[in-house]
Structure 1
Amino acid sequence: MFAKKNRTERTAEEAWEHLSSAWASAGDSAGKAGRQGRRLASRAGDRVTSVTDEALIRATAAADALAGRRPGRPWALIAGVGLLGAALGWVAATTARAALERQAENEEIELAETAVVVTPTYDDH
């Protein structure tokens, strides 16, 4: 009745151990960063804060992944790309319309220049 753990369970346990360790080290880093930040210049404090923030973001993402939650969609990026695409489409349509108008004008001028006017003559015999 003692079933061996399957590969998925072992992987989940290892991931949880790594996550717990990362979370703990992020907390330790935050504490150390707070103490060192007061003693060091603002440049060093900013660097430590950014590293701590990155560790916290990664640990949170790992916890969400282990819990089965998917990351949110970057709606601002999607909207920005959509607006950029709309602007580029408008520019392309305007340019194509102007090119077609120029082509039509040129064809009309060419037809006018090469047109042969035939006038009928009436001979009274």
Structure 2
Amino acid sequence: MFSRKSTAERTAAEAWDYLSSAMASAGESAKDAGKITAGLAGAKAAELAGKASKSGNKLAGKASRQSQKLAGKAGARMNAATEEAWNRAHLAANALAGRKPGLPWSLILGASLVGVALGWAAATTVRAAAERRAENEQLELAETAIVVTPTYDN
């Protein structure tokens, strides 16, 4: 009949079920994509190897390198997509569990180091300018100084 759960609890439970099924299907999709990619790369390699056997060893090496490149590119794309899907799924799971994301300490530390470097550069520049100003004032005083020598009457 009627459930005693509140609307928020029902919504959270539905979201959790949806997230769980989405994570499972994402894993299955990633596996299927990997199998398809490997199959296509293998078929392309076999096709190129067949052509290479007619043309000689030179083309066999080229076919091998090309199939490795294709497999590497496909693997990299799949890994990037899979990693992004897992990251998003974990963020969603943490949000549903009520956990807040952590602070980006590397970004905070980097900004602090940049601030320290800029402050040091500004302080050094101001200090050098003050020293130059003092030297210029000393030279100006030396140029305009009147030397008074006492005279002695004998």
TM range (shorter): 0.7 to 0.9
Q: Does 1:88 align with 2:136?
A: no
CA distance in 1, matches of 2:138, 2:14: 77
Q: TM-score, normalised by structure 2?
A: 0.63
Which residue in 2 is equivalent to 1:32?
A: 32
Q: Give, as a single letter, the amino acid of the residue that structure 2 aligns with 1:61.
A: L
**CA displacement at 1:3 relative to structure 2:** 6.1
Cross-structure match for 2:135: 105
Alignment RMSD (CA, Å): 2.9
Partners of 1:11 and 1:120 lie apart in 2 by 102
For 1:65 and 1:122, locate their aligned partners in 2 and report how far apart those are by CA, in whole Å: 97
Structure with a larger share of its residues in helix: 2
| Residue identity in the other structure for 2:15 | A
Deviates more, 1:37-46 or 1:110-119: 110-119
Unaligned runs of 5+ in 2: 42-69
Against the structure 1 CA distance between its residues 109 and 13, is the aligned structure 2 distance closer, same or farther, given a 3 Å change threshold?
same
Relative to 1, partners in 2 of residues 1:62 and 1:4: Cα closer, same or farther, differing over 3 Å? closer
Point out where structure 1 has 5 or more consecutive residues left out of the alignment: none
Matches within 5 A, 1:16-55: 16-39=16-39, 40=41, 41-42=70-71, 43-55=73-85
Range with greater deviation from structure 2 (113-122 or 60-69)? 113-122
Number of equivalences: 123
